[in-house]
Amino acid sequence: MTEQPLIAVLDYGIGNLRSAQKALQRCGADARLTVDHGLIADADAVVLPGVGAFGACMAALRDADLEDSVEEAVDSGRPFLGICVGMQMLFDSSEEDDSAVGLGVIPGTIRWLGSELPRPQMQWNLLTLNLSDDQMFVGLSSEAWVYFVHSLHAVPEDHAVIAATCTYGGVVNAAFRYGNVFATQFHPEKSGSWGISLLGNFVRIAAGATKP
């Protein structure tokens, strides 16, 4: 088992990617912002953060020549974490930008939150854990509060992949498990002790991962 797992944080120039890197380092990982294909291939785990607009993030990821690296990391079976718009990018498409094509890792669509409440949801919210036995939720209490900043959420074709939800004018899908991929609409790096617990679980999973 690797004591300090190497985690590649994909650096495609959008938003404050360093905050995710620093949070993972705090949890004991050798987390590196990178566009280096070799380092990404050698990493024990890979993280795709993201903030802003779906279409702009997809364009930036492709301009950085990282789309194939995402696909290879997912296909390898290594632990993979998508955060916020990084989570949204794993889906097929988004109502935010009909012309943008997502990565298609998780079948489904990103849809607008209901208009009866302010958008974006910019607040702490309580998670309901659908997959409470998932390794990513080890040590999280049934009252885990996490921080959201978003106007859209993911609606997968298979609702069995929804790992957690919250309530904001109705049920909002907040986290997903799809094989070796875990993805969150909320920002664990901004979610205090609950977020650090979740990222710590990801680091421990990465430390026990066996690369092909």
C-alpha to C-alpha distance for 48 and 183, rounded to whole angstroms: 9
| More confident position, 15 or 27 | 27
84 is catalytic: yes
- pLDDT at res. 14: 84
What average pLDDT is seen over the chain?
A: 94
pLDDT in tens, 147-196: 999 999 999 999 999 999 999 989 999 999 999 999 999 999 999 999 99
Number of H helices, E strands in the chain: 6, 13
57 is catalytic: no
The one catalytic residue among 84, 150, 153, 166: 84
What percent of the chain is predicted at pLDDT more than 70?
Answer: 98
C-alpha to C-alpha distance for 41 and 188, rounded to whole angstroms: 24
The one catalytic residue among 27, 57, 166, 187: 187
C-alpha to C-alpha distance for 169 and 9, rounded to whole angstroms: 33
- pLDDT at res. 114: 84
Cβ contact 54:96 at 8 Å: yes
Asked if residue 34 has pLDDT above 90, the reply is yes
- pLDDT at res. 19: 92
Burial of 133 (0-12, 13-18, 19+ CB in 10 A): exposed
- pLDDT at res. 70: 97
CB atoms within 10 A of CB 139: 11
